[in-house]
Amino acid sequence: MEKDFDREELIRKALEQQKKAYAPYSEFFVGAAVLMDSGKIYTGSNVENASFPAGCCAERTAIYHAVACGERKIRAIAIVGGRKGENRTYAAPCGVCRQVMREFCNPKEMTVILAKTPEDYREMKLEDLLPMSFGPEHLPGFGGKA
């Protein structure tokens, strides 16, 4: 894989953020670090709620933070997650998070890193996780022909 950014740093930031997750119901703690085109990194953790749909995933928390700060293009994201904070498997993003990522990137270019540790990770493009995706270019007035 290309080495155009520090993957280990991105994973370390996701791991740091995982410790701040609020997950009293599932006990599944997730941290995410998103690298924007500007070079800035924004982090997020999952936040659960007794009214389950009111919670938010770590990936969306990080992305929404970046967007709220004026960022618009995601370059890469690192995601870590595990029961009670023990990262025994690679935690893949849910479908909603994949669609939110899609809004702010070219899925053929955006790197998704699923990690257990800074040394143990899997890497793919968003297009691999969300094939045949729907994006802004499909809408009239936003580059679409519909």
Residues annotated catalytic, as ranges? 59
Which residues are CB-neighbours of 123 under 8 A, at least 6 positions away?
A: 1, 7, 111, 112, 113, 114
Pairing of strands 121-125, 28-36: unpaired
For helices 58-68 and 95-103, the axis angle rounded to 10 degrees is 20
User: Token pair for residue 48?
Assistant: 């659960």
- Which one-letter DSSP state was computed for residue 92? P
Could you say which DSSP state residue 93 is in?
Answer: P
